[in-house]
Structure 1
Amino acid sequence: MRPALDQGEARPSAVKDLFTGVGYLLRGIGWTARNPAQWLFGLIPALIVLAAYAAGLVTLAFYLGDLAGWVTPFADGWSDAARAGTHVVAGIAIYGTAVFLAVLTFTAVTLLVGDPFYEAIAVRVEESQGGAPPDPDVPLAVQIGRAIKDALVLGLVAVLFGVVFFAAGFLPVVGQTVVPVVAALVSGYYLAGELTSIALERRGLLRKERFARLKANRALSVGFGAATFVVFLIPLGAVFAMPGAVAGATLLARERLADGPAVTGGHLGVAGPN
């Protein structure tokens, strides 16, 4: 009987951790609301990257009809209604996948472009909580190289998941209901990994160990990341919420992840990239 009780106890813990993760995003946004100068400072790199991504998505929308026809050659001989319906589904899947990839890679690219900006915000957050750890004794060139490598690895992971979700988007009903939810959870896990990297790297933790700690706190990480993902889907949400997301991730890393993997209840999430 005891194992069943343990499983029952794990579920409330997982739910609690999910909401606690959401709370870290709200705390981060609250911190930037109390420090508007830091919020404005953090908008600069996000606006730069947004302009590039917006141009890409607008271009994709312009050619979406042609792309939908290109990926569905099997429908060429169908009736006009069936072919048009297939193209609509394909177009939604293509654009949805593009948005998914944009949201997932936007954070990595923005953190890469705006590293000095968000490093400064993270330090301010840490100082407001009692003090920031010292700068890592790592040459700048090595730090930049690691950041680029991490961005490429996470970008590859995003593309692989994007292909899977694109294919799953063609499934009737499931593709329009279950798949978006799973995409948000998976995206949230990796967004949490990207956003907490600033505070954890400052503590000397590289990508593999960072994701080990996220995995040990899966529900907490997914709660924070999925909430961030949903906010980033709101028009301009990724820009305006980015400084707050960095602040919230810094609090999450400082309070729950920095001291090592303390396994919490929950079974959400997937393993991080090696």
Structure 2
Amino acid sequence: MAPLKTMWDEFAEGARLLGRGFSLYSRSPRLLLLGLIPAVISFLLLATAWFFLLWFIRDLAATVTWFADDWGSPWRGVIRFGAGAGIVIVSALVSVLTYTALTLLIGDPFYEVISERVEDHHGGAPGLPDLPWHRTFFKNAADSIRLILLGIVVSVPLFLLGFVPVLGQTVIPVLDVVVGGWLLAVELTGVPFNRRGLRLKDRRAMLRANRPLALGFGMPVFVMLLIPFAAVLVVPAAVAGSTLLTRRLFGLPTDKPSAALGKPPLVRAPETVVPGGHDVGVAGRL
């Protein structure tokens, strides 16, 4: 029971850090405005794509189940309902990742400001490199594209399983949330990690070593991004929360500004030197 309790505590800690990110972001009108501009642009683009997807969902389901054209009722209806559900499930995962990546790409300078303000509010990150946004922009873009492609690859088996009656409409959506939450945790921490001179493999490794914490943060973000119109507020606040999550991984304070080191670091792996001379644990890859 102890390991399960520890995993639950870390999961709850991840959700708490997300909640604190919302609290910090909502208390600053200037940060609210900075975060809303790219989020609204991305939302309008994605909403247009979803409009056409839902408008043609029956045609798409019929197209991918061409083999059932001669089937009788009710099996043709069942298989096409499963196909439609599978398309929606896969589209939800891909669109959430795409929306987040697009919003971070459009608003990279804005979200760098939000993340940096959160860091400064909690005493900064002494001893760690602090690269300006124009030095990390292309790294953020490249990492986001890689994560989108990974999300598409992962979506293929979920899409195929969506054809299975009952399983495709019950278990698969839950797996969708877990997978999407993990990928979002990796994606959103890109801003504070890249500012420290670290790349995708570094944050993926550190998050994997603390997976319950990452899922506790990422899964609620994924669910909230499925709520219409909520996305414009979720991503900017999640950037603030991801900065706190990153600080937690590095053992830096996340509650109140303090000169002390704060909570002890979480699970770390063999040491590797990154730009700036700071040692960062790398635990493995996804």
TM-score bucket of the superposed structures, by smaller chain: 0.7 to 0.9
* Pick aligned residue for 1:148 from 136, 141, 146: 141
Secondary structure at the residue paired with 1:93? helix
Matched, 1:50 2:54: no
1:233-257 per-position Cα deviation (integer Å, ceiling 9, x unaligned): 1111221211111111111101224
Contact 2:38–2:103 at 8 Å: present in 1 too? yes
Residues 55-74 of structure 1 aligned to structure 2 (within 5 Å): 55-74=48-67
2:93 aligned partner: 100
- Which ranges in structure 2 are unaligned for 5 or more consecutive residues? 253-263, 269-283
Shift of 1:205: 1.1
Aligned equivalent of 2:33: 40
Is 2:140–2:190's contact at 8 Å kept on the other side of the alignment?
no
What is the CA-CA distance between 1:9 and the residue it aligns to? 2.2
Q: Which structure carries more helix by proportion? A: 1
Alignment partner of 1:135 is 2:130: yes
Distance 1:150 1:261, change over 3 A: farther
Please give the TM-score of this superposition, normalised by the length of structure 2.
0.84
Q: Answer yes or no: is the 8 Å Cα contact 1:43–1:243 preserved in 2.
A: yes
Question: Aligned partners of 2:67, 2:285: CA distance in 1, in Å?
Answer: 37
Distance 2:236 2:206 in 1: 23
Equivalents in 2 of 1:15, 1:250: separation in Å? Answer: 21
The structure with higher relative contact order (CA 8 Å, sep 6+) is: 1
- Aligned residue type for 2:118: V
Q: Give, in angstroms, the shift of residue 194 of structure 1.
A: 1.0
1:1-274 aligned at under 5 Å gives the runs: 8-131=1-124, 135-136=130-131, 140=134, 143-257=136-250, 262-263=266-267, 272=285
Aligned-partner Cα distance in 2 for 1:162–1:209: 24
Query: Are the aligned partners of 2:140 and 2:191 in contact in 1 as well (CA < 8 Å)?
Result: no
Take 2:108 and 2:4, find their aligned partners in 1: how far apart are those partners?
A: 37
Q: How many residues align?
A: 258
CA distance 1:176–1:210, shift in 2 (3 Å) = same
One-letter amino acid of the counterpart of residue 78, structure 1: W
Aligned sequence identity (%): 41
Answer yes or no: is the 8 Å Cα contact 2:10–2:212 preserved in 1: yes
Farther-moved stretch of structure 1 (91-100 vs 126-135): 126-135
- State the SS of the aligned residue for 1:241: helix
User: Structure 1: where are the runs of 5+ without partners?
Assistant: 1-7, 265-270
